[in-house]
């Protein structure tokens, strides 16, 4: 059973371009979470998605950021018109259902976005 797969592992974008980060959850997992980690800082929750639904987006910036988890295919975190401050590591986690007491969340290895 493959783990949570994130790609690309490294992404370089020029200011103003779009960044698309993909996350394939573990097999059988229907819940996905995205986190951002700025250099030398902690992990910040961004958004929680279930298949075709956004459950909690309280950590998402109001503009330029969006996330989806379609019925088929990976979850996508999309950042439009990137700025240098978007440079960070973005981690995805998946669980078989809501991050419940009897289920742990498994994290991917992250995508490191660099905006130049």
Which positions touch other proteins (CB under 8 A)?
4, 33, 35, 42-45, 48, 56, 89, 91, 93, 97-102, 104-110
Are the C-beta atoms of residues 65 and 78 closer than 8 Å to each other? yes
Are the C-beta atoms of residues 13 and 113 closer than 8 Å to each other? yes
- Give, in order, the Cα–Cα distances in Å from 46 to each of 14, 55, 91: 23, 11, 10
CB of 81 to other proteins, least distance (A): 27
- Which CB, 18 or 56, lies closer to other proteins? 56
CB of 43 to other proteins, least distance (A): 4
Report residue 39 as tokens. Answer: 């250099």
**Cα-trace Rg, the chain:** 13
- Which CB, 18 or 104, lies closer to other proteins? 104
- Which CB, 37 or 66, lies closer to other proteins? 37
CB of 113 to other proteins, least distance (A): 14
């Amino acid at each position: 059973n493959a783990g949570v797969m994130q790609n690309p592992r490294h992404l370089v974008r020029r200011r103003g371009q779009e960044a698309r980060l993909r996350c394939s959850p573990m097999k059988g997992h229907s819940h996905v979470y995205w986190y951002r980690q700025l250099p030398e800082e902690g992990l910040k929750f961004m958004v929680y998605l279930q298949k075709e639904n956004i459950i909690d987006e309280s950590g998402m910036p109001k503009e330029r950021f969006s996330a989806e988890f379609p019925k088929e295919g990976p979850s996508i975190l999309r950042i439009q018109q990137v700025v240098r401050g978007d440079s960070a590591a973005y981690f995805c986690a998946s669980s078989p259902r809501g991050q419940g007491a009897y289920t742990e969340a498994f994290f991917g290895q992250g995508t490191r976005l660099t905006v130049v």
